[in-house]
Structure 1
Amino acid sequence: LYSWRFTSSGVCFLSAGTGVQTRAVQCLRPDGKPGLDCDASQRPAETRACGKPCPQWHVGAWSSCSRSCGKGFKRRALHCTHTELILQRDHCSGLRKPQELDFCNLREFLPLKHQMVYRFYFYFFLFNLHVEEDVSGVGCQVTSLLSLWGVCSLGRMGVSKRSARRRDKEDDDNDALKASYDKEDSSTPKWIFMNWDACSTSCGEGVQTRAVQCLRPDGKPGLDCDASQRPAETRACGKPCPQWHVGAWSSCSRSCGKGFKRRALHCTHTELILQRDHCSGLRKPQELDFCNLREC
Structure 2
Amino acid sequence: MISRTRNFQRGCLTGNNSEDRCGKCEADDCHLISGIFTQTNLPSGYSKVTRIPRGACHVNITQIKPSANYIALKVHRGQYLLNGQWSPTSSHRFKALGTTFVYRRPLSSEPQPATEYVRARGPIEKSLDVMMLHRGSNQGIWYSYKIPTNKNKANRTNAMQNDQSYLHAAQPYYIPPESLQPGIQSQQLGQPTYLQPEYSQVLGGASQRDARRADYLWRVTGVSECNRTCGGGFQNTTVVCVEQEKQAIVTADNCDAVTRPPVQLIPCNNAPCPPSWIASQWTPCSTTCSAGFQTRTVECKQRISDTISINVALARCNAEPAPPAIQDCNRDKPCVNWKFGNWSRCSVDCGRGQRSREVACNGPDGKPRAENTCVGPKPIVAEICDMGSCAKAWFHTAWDDQCSSECGEGVIKRRVHCAADGACAARSRPRNSKSCQNEIPCGGIWFTSPWSKCTATCGAGVKQRDVSCIKKLGGGALTIVSEENCAIDSKPVTEEECVLQECPPEWFHTEWSDCSTSCGSGFRSRELKCLDADEATSLSCDQKLKPDTRKSCYSECRRTQEQPSRRHHQSSSHGDPGSCEDTYDNCQLVLQARLCPYYLQQCCRSCWRFRTS
Whether TM-score is above 0.5 comes out as no
TM superposition score category, shorter chain reference: under 0.3
Please say which structure displays the higher CA radius of gyration.
Answer: 2
What's the TM-score, normalizing by structure 1? 0.27
